[in-house]
């Protein structure tokens, strides 16, 4: 994995985490936390969406949407665990 791929992961993670933080009110973790949530969301979406038969296509926009969906799921789960 080269440096360019890592930078793309961080950018996609940051955007997806920011979107998830905007969708799930009160679920944001700051910039670094949102990047981490976005990357974890990308992994979750990469596993879950194909399992459900959902394919948004390729490219950067599809990666951001996939990651944001996964990040929202991660934030909802984390919010539920924090409240319990």
| pLDDT tens over the chain, length 84 residues | 678 877 888 888 888 888 888 888 766 677 777 778 888 888 888 888 888 888 888 888 888 888 888 888 988 888 788 776
Concatenating the DSSP letter of every residue in the chain gives: --HHHHHHHHHHHHHHHHHHHHHSTT---HHHHHHHHHHHHHHHHHHHHHHTT----SSHHHHHHHHHHHHHHHHHHHHHHHH-
pTM of the model: 0.80
pLDDT at 65: 86
- Look at residue 1 in the predicted model and tell me its pLDDT: 63
């Amino acid at each position: 994995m080269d440096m360019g791929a890592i930078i793309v992961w961080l950018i996609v993670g940051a955007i997806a985490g920011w979107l998830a933080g905007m969708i799930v009110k009160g679920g944001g973790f700051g910039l670094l936390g949102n990047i981490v949530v976005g990357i974890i969301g990308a992994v979750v979406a990469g596993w879950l969406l194909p399992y459900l038969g959902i394919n948004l296509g390729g490219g950067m926009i599809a990666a951001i949407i996939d990651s944001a969906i996964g990040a929202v799921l991660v934030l909802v789960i984390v919010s539920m665990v924090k409240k319990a």
